[in-house]
Amino acid sequence: MAKLENFTGLTKSQEDLLKKYYCFGSLGLLNFNVANNTFTFHTRIAERKEQVTRASAWLQYKNDLFLLKAKKRNDRFSHYKLELTPSKAIQNFKAIFECKLTGAESKNDASVAVEYNHEKFKEKITYFNNQNSLRFQITTGKPEYGFGLDAKLKLEDKEFENLTSAFWWAKSGARLVVKHVGKDYKSFGNFEASFFQAISPLANLASKVVTDWNTKATTVEVGGDYKYDDSTFVKGKINSNGNLALALTRTLNNKLRASIATEYKAQSLLAHSNEGYKFGIRFDFTH
């Protein structure tokens, strides 16, 4: 039986189909993952065109009571996270402590959050120390339909910095999520509608439409994937800016998966030009 999603997971199916494995943002991308029941080690190296090579690594330890994770990048970014899940004392409760350090001066961005998950509602409250703000996220309803709210309140000014409301409907492999993204109750902001449809066990379709109420500008993106066999699937998408993207992912063995992706501007294709052309390769090792 399907479960009620939290707010950040409402559009995960659509976002994964339209973004995941489109690795043309990097000329080369390498992921290496080693995991067992308690420890996980992951490292990632990305070679970007006309940019410094980006490398990162994180280590995670998890048991029935807590999860501890530490991440470092070669651009002096660090991320530390502690999750407490005292399920024996309090069912469906989680406390999250995070700290992000950025730059040579190690600028601190710390936060503390509490989550409570129920069959009919999920809520999360986060306090950001550096911004002195509170973020409220809640979804309520059923897996088939419901309402969600994501609001960020600046405590010093007693004003909302971000305010997003959402409605969703799901049935028979289809999922529709409609969002209003604004800074407060007075402005209309942006309207987003995303749709996911499982056409068959082998193929899926997703789309996203974003409209800016003030400028009336609208962007549309449509994509799909197809499972060619047990080891291979292909993906394709196109947006209203004329960008066409394709991706191919193949599992070479139980420890190695390879992906190749490219993006082209439709106008450049017609003009036989390489302007806007992107290409990338990705390897995922798991041990």
Which stretch of 11-20, 26-35, 65-74, 221-230 has the lowest confidence by average pLDDT? 26-35
How many angstroms separate the CA atoms of 5 and 64, rounded? 22
Residue 1 lies in a domain: no
Provide the token pair at 207: 């789309």
CA atoms lying within 13 Å on the CB side of residue 177:
26
Please give the pLDDT value at position 245.
Answer: 94
pLDDT at 187 over 70: no
223-265: per-residue pLDDT in tens?
Answer: 999 999 999 999 999 999 989 999 999 999 988 999 999 998 8
Residue 199 CA, chain-centre distance (Å), reads 23
| Number of domains present in the structure of the chain | 1
- Give CA 166 to chain center in angstroms: 17
Q: Which residues contact 277 (CB under 8 A, 6 or more apart)?
A: 262, 263, 264, 265, 268
Please report which confidence band the pLDDT of residue 18 belongs to, taking 50, 70 and 90 as the band edges. very high
Determine, yes or no, domain membership for 2: no
In a domain, 136, yes or no: yes
CATH number at residue 234: 2.40.160.10
What is the SS3 assignment for 134? strand
Nearest residue to 135 (alpha-carbon basis) of 150, 117, 121, 155: 150
39 domain residue, yes or no: yes
Q: How many CB atoms lie within 10 A of CB 93?
A: 14
Q: Is the pLDDT of residue 159 over 70?
A: yes
* The predicted structure's pLDDT at residue 1: 45
Region 157-180: mean pLDDT is 90
Question: Which structural domain, as residue segments, surrounds residue 12?
Answer: 7-286
Alpha-carbon distance 27 to 205, whole Å? 27
**Could you give phi then psi for residue 132, rounded to 5 degrees?**
50, 55
Q: What is the pLDDT of residue 265?
A: 87
Q: If residue 152 lies in a helix (H) or strand (E), which one and from where to where?
A: strand 145-154
> If pLDDT is split at 50, 70 and 90, which confidence band does 80 have?
very high
Rounded CA separation 232/267 (Å):
30
- The answer for residues whose C-beta is within 8 angstroms of residue 144's C-beta and 6 or more apart is 2, 169, 170, 171
